[in-house]
């Protein structure tokens, strides 16, 4: 069992080193999941004396006012009999303290380094490990003493003891009314059933004559789940005379054994019993919490890995590595863009919707009323005849009417090109937002976006030319077979024996209009299929083939400084990646060690 406490001690030290102990992080902390014993008490409750009795050393700062201004994580390690006692601080990893007066001074100095000499408090803990043959394996968190006026201290204490994995060691003086005890009051607020609270009664030897603490120690008053433990601390006179802790423990045992009121309770009183009881209880709690800790670690590892993947890898240092990194990021973007077009990711279907719905609807909405009105037909046919009226059919008139009608198709053709262009730009934006590495490098994101849009603009211009060329080709050469298949009516088609005025009657002109409208509709049906082919060839196909080709060419000409500017990161993001990587290393290490302990049981 002892290796369980040692394991928790090790993980706690690592958590403190990495800052994995406060509420400032978005992810849950490993620190919060580890069972710990928090020592709570009001000022002058004897809290420091209890801790020193458990350790067997005089090492805590003393004085008036608020002395403890940072949490002190006190880890006790039992070593072989005859070995020399020593202490180590986490912030001074290679320095051993054998003089415990120097330990007291270092606690004070380290507190001042974090909080200054303005008597402020800090949630950043100090880690102190003490190795001695006179201690049990145990970890305690000494919290600042509660006081009526320091609200920030109460908030800090509450943040520790309200956690479900925290065991509360509530220190209360026996010579004061327990109903007003700061430690009991705050403990009951966060642990109303007393399931996590262990009560310690100090200064029993200083109670008024004729009074005792038997009812409390026997559990008949202020009952908790665990029996109250009474201790007798060194007096101020003993402290001033530097009375040996071992001697003080012996006198404490003698006090409980020789006092009639407490004789029957002597076997479970005193600081030595308190230390053994806390060690055993902490081991039991740790063992019961291991499955939950393993679950939290596994979940947090997955969250950390996901977050690190989202932040992306750090940039390379050399120019070649930077160029390779940029190329890889661009290829990733290009692949995502293609996946949108090919239907692997959503968005490409909108382009088909232009061809299948928007373009046909636009062609269908074309109005030829102006071109094929009776007045316009008469005007163009007569102008085309010139001084010599047509003999059989007004061919030049037909051509002019068809050309003027087909010109209106240019509008829907250009609209289709522009619609596809807008959708390609939209897919570029989507691909950029979905390329995680581009979020990491704002400069590169801007350049890739600009290069892609510039390429799309060139492709749109080429597509416009090609598409309008299709429309113009239909105007430049008419399909003769269409007219040859028309029924030939000599009377209505223009008999040369009729007068010039008969040739331009309404019936005759209406027949011309109907014929031209049929031809234009046939051309629209043809263009409905050829325009999408032109657009796909000039825009979609080219975007898939060469969207970033010009950008890649420019990249090859860039020097190291220019490449570096593309891979500039937000310093806060870089710092966060480093922090997350360290936390991930901590959690993986903790997972391996906890799993090893769990399997060995």
pLDDT tens per residue, range 282-313: 888 888 888 888 888 888 889 889 988 888 77
Residues 57-95 have pLDDT tens digits of 888 887 666 677 889 989 888 889 889 999 999 889 889
Is residue 582 domain-resident?
A: no
Is residue 598 domain-resident?
A: no
Domain check: are 72 and 133 in the same one?
yes
* Mean predicted confidence (pLDDT) in 198-226: 89
Domain check: are 283 and 334 in the same one?
no
* Mean predicted confidence (pLDDT) in 133-150: 83
Residue 99 pLDDT greater than 60, yes or no: yes
Domain check: are 303 and 330 in the same one?
no
Is residue 146 domain-resident?
A: yes
Is residue 314 domain-resident?
A: no
Is residue 461 domain-resident?
A: yes
Is residue 599 domain-resident?
A: no
Residue 169's H or E segment, with its range, is strand 166-173
Full residue range of the structural domain in which residue 328 is found: 319-568
Q: What per-residue confidence (pLDDT) applies to 496?
A: 46
Domain check: are 265 and 179 in the same one?
yes
Hunting for tokens 């040692």 — which residue is that?
A: 6
Residues 250-283 have pLDDT tens digits of 899 999 999 999 999 999 999 999 999 998 898 8
Is residue 600 domain-resident?
A: no
Beta carbons of 70 and 321 less than 8 angstroms apart:
no
Domain check: are 273 and 334 in the same one?
no
Beta carbons of 193 and 161 less than 8 angstroms apart:
no
Q: What percent of the chain has pLDDT over 90?
A: 36
Low-confidence winner among 169-173, 239-243, 393-397 (lowest mean pLDDT): 393-397
Task: For residues 326 and 347, give the distance between their C-alpha atoms in angstroms, rounded to a whole number.
Answer: 26
Domain count, the chain: 2
Q: What per-residue confidence (pLDDT) applies to 500?
A: 46
* Mean predicted confidence (pLDDT) in 508-536: 88
Residues 307-364 have pLDDT tens digits of 888 887 777 667 788 888 899 999 999 999 999 999 999 998 999 999 999 999 998 8
Domain check: are 511 and 540 in the same one?
yes
Question: What's the distance, Cα to Cα, between the start and end of the chain in Å?
Answer: 9
Q: What per-residue confidence (pLDDT) applies to 415?
A: 95
* Mean predicted confidence (pLDDT) in 142-153: 79
Give the bridge partners for 37, in sequence order.
Answer: 140, 167
The better pLDDT of the pair 385, 8 is held by 8
Residue 30 pLDDT greater than 90, yes or no: no
Banded pLDDT at 26 (limits 50, 70, 90): very low
- Around Cβ 63, how many Cβ atoms within 10 Å? 7
Which of 525, 416, 526 lies closest to 464, judged by CA? Answer: 416
Banded pLDDT at 384 (limits 50, 70, 90): low
* Mean predicted confidence (pLDDT) in 127-138: 89
Banded pLDDT at 490 (limits 50, 70, 90): very low
Residues 394-413 have pLDDT tens digits of 677 677 777 888 888 999 99
Beta carbons of 404 and 367 less than 8 angstroms apart:
no
Domain check: are 303 and 324 in the same one?
no
């Amino acid at each position: 069992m002892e290796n369980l406490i040692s394991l928790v001690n090790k993980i706690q030290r690592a958590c403190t080193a990495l800052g994995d102990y406060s509420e400032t992080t978005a992810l849950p902390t490993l620190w919060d999941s580890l069972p710990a014993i928090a020592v709570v008490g009001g000022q002058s409750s004897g809290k420091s004396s209890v801790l020193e009795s458990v350790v067997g050393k005089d090492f805590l700062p003393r004085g008036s006012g608020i002395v403890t201004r940072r949490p002190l994580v006190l880890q006790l390690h039992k070593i072989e009999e005859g070995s020399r006692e020593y202490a180590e601080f986490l912030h001074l990893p290679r320095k051993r303290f054998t003089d415990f007066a120097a330990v007291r001074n270092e606690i004070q100095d380290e507190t001042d380094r974090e909080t200054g000499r303005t008597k402020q408090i800090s949630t950043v803990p100090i880690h102190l490990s003490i190795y001695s043959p006179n201690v049990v394996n145990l970890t305690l968190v000494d919290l600042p003493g509660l006081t009526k006026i320091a609200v920030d201290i109460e908030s800090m204490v509450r943040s520790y003891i309200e956690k479900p994995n925290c065991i509360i060691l509530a220190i209360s003086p026996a010579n004061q009314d327990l109903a007003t005890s700061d430690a009991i009051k705050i403990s009951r607020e966060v642990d109303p059933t007393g399931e996590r609270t262990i009560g310690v009664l100090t200064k029993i030897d200083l109670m008024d004559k004729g009074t005792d603490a038997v009812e409390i120690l026997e559990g008949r008053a202020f009952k908790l789940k665990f029996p109250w433990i009474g201790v007798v601390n060194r007096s101020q006179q003993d402290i001033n005379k530097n009375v040996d802790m071992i001697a003080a423990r012996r006198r404490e045992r003698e006090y409980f054994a020789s006092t009639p009121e407490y004789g029957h309770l002597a076997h479970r009183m005193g600081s030595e019993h308190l230390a053994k009881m806390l060690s055993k209880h902490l081991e039991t709690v740790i063992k019961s919490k291991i499955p939950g800790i393993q679950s939290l670690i596994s979940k947090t590892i997955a969250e950390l890995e996901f977050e690190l993947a989202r932040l992306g890898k750090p940039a390379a240092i050399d120019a070649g590595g930077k160029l390779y990194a940029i190329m890889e990021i661009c290829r990733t973007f290009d692949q995502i863009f293609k996946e949108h077009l090919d239907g692997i990711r959503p968005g490409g279907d909108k382009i088909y919707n232009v061809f299948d719905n928007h373009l046909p609807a636009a062609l269908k909405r074309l109005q030829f009323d102006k071109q094929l009105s009776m007045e316009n037909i008469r005007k163009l046919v007569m102008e085309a005849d010139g001084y010599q009226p047509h003999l059989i059919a007004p061919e030049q008139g037909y051509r002019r009417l068809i050309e003027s009608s087909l010109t209106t198709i240019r509008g829907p053709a250009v609209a289709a090109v522009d619609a596809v262009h807008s959708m390609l730009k939209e897919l570029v934006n989507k691909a950029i937002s979905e390329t995680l590495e581009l979020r990491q490098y704002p400069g590169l994101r801007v350049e890739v976006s600009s290069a892609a849009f510039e390429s799309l603009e060139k492709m749109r211009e080429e597509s416009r030319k090609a598409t309008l060329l299709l429309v113009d080709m239909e105007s430049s050469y008419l399909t003769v077979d269409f007219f040859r298949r028309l029924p030939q009516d000599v009377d209505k088609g223009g008999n040369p024996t009729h007068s010039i005025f008969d040739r331009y009657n309404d019936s005759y002109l209406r027949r011309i209009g109907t014929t031209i409208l049929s031809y234009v509709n046939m051309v629209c049906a043809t263009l409905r299929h050829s325009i999408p082919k032109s657009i796909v060839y000039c825009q979609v196909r080219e975007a898939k083939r060469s969207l970033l080709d010009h950008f890649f060419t420019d990249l090859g000409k860039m020097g190291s400084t220019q490449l570096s500017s593309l891979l500039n990161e937000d310093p806060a993001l870089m710092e966060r990646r480093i922090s997350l990587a360290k936390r991930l290393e901590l959690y993986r290490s903790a997972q391996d060690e906890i799993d090893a302990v769990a399997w060995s049981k």
